[in-house]
Structure 1
């Protein structure tokens, strides 16, 4: 036996290392917890190197045990689909069009706008996985004249894979169904009107006749409204609110009834003008007692979509008309 040898007690469980040899055939042993104990030499036996190697408690043994209980997470499945076009509202009059790649493919692409057989390039390049690209900005008031949007894409990824067929889509937006596509755009994480280009139910060429912009489209852009398609007609640039211009059945009507009809026509035409993106509209209210003019001005002053209003063309209408400038 030598100092530093690993030993075990013959009549006990303790193990330790020989620290010193003392008189009287006594051996001082330092056990695992750091204490030193005197033991008769014949009460200990040495532990062979091979046995010591086998019995030594690994400092990582607990970690290994814990790790054996951990379920390794599987890598996420490769996203085969997730290509979108999205119209994001800038304000109540304009939208931006984006191409979104929410798949794991790398997409070489071209995007063009087709109008009256004339093609206009919007963008071309490579759209990386989980990215988007802004293509253009559009005005709500021009909805009926929006072009057909055409997209062509190839698929690419590193390694071995089954190559899908190239994607080619043409989309013509319809007002009647446009608002139904409202939702959160992937990648952008914004509220938008979204079309999935690689959806199987979407025809390769969705060329349809454009309809008038619905009031629900306008309200949906602002975050509300019923989902019923209502055709919004564009009002005249100048609206005459004289009662004989609004209804043929005006004889015998009280002043209150006439005012009610006139205000209803005013509100309706103003909303139509806002929904169609008109820059201005003029209301002829006459001079008279000034009640209609005062009420129109009061309501215009509270309307958030009105930039300003003023007397319109005094040389033509005198003080009997109001020009409304829409934001």
Structure 2
């Protein structure tokens, strides 16, 4: 099951086209009226190419199907190439470590190099050639507890496809160092590999569009010029006890905020401190939420119960905080 496949729901009449993979073994599909909906992969079946051709969808879904359609072999009339889909993925090996993968979900062969950059020093990790629709596992293992110490990764790629009729493509040069918040939000099924991981797309429509044949100066510039959209990680290690009372978060006053708006401010502070605690390798953190109506405590516990990096949580030191604090133990 890949992006662009036409699928049918097993328990409903709707059909659609897969537009992206979501977490929890779900995919997003665009149905014929143009709406995009999440569906479990187990509830879908891929429509055969012959059936898809005979029963073409109409409207916007037809346009999406054409844009994401599974690619035809070289040489057929109306050939469409998947030119976008080069990924870097951090794939969990256990609850402490992740492995590094490069994924080529395009129709091009890719000659690649991958290296680490630490404070100006360069360390090559691997180089090689990736066939279309393949993945390569690097030898590197990174510890989640040392997230803030992970290096910047430098990926470079040259694109190749045998035969004539293909526009030349500019090389790809990309640096990546994920932010803590983006890292956890980017968890999904890794294309080609089919396992859950934290996925970052190294190419996009702009950097990977087919271009005129490059000059030697253009190649040199593309390979040596740093990419400006480097994602720099900046993780502030929070205190072991975080007070979520609004007067602590907004010492200058809450400016007449409504109760729901106050809770929203408290939740944003909770989420930020929790993610920073995870990224900085803390073993536990305590949140003081007070008793009040219990709405904030209930929402904190709801989020903690579903968080993949929380081992368990409990009321913290009743003799000190009463029932107004929650202690969280992290994985």
Give the TM-score range, shorter chain: 0.3 to 0.5
TM-score by length of 2: 0.44
TM-score by length of 1: 0.45
* Bigger Rg, structure 1 or 2: 1
By relative contact order (CA 8 Å, sep 6+), the higher-ranking structure is 2
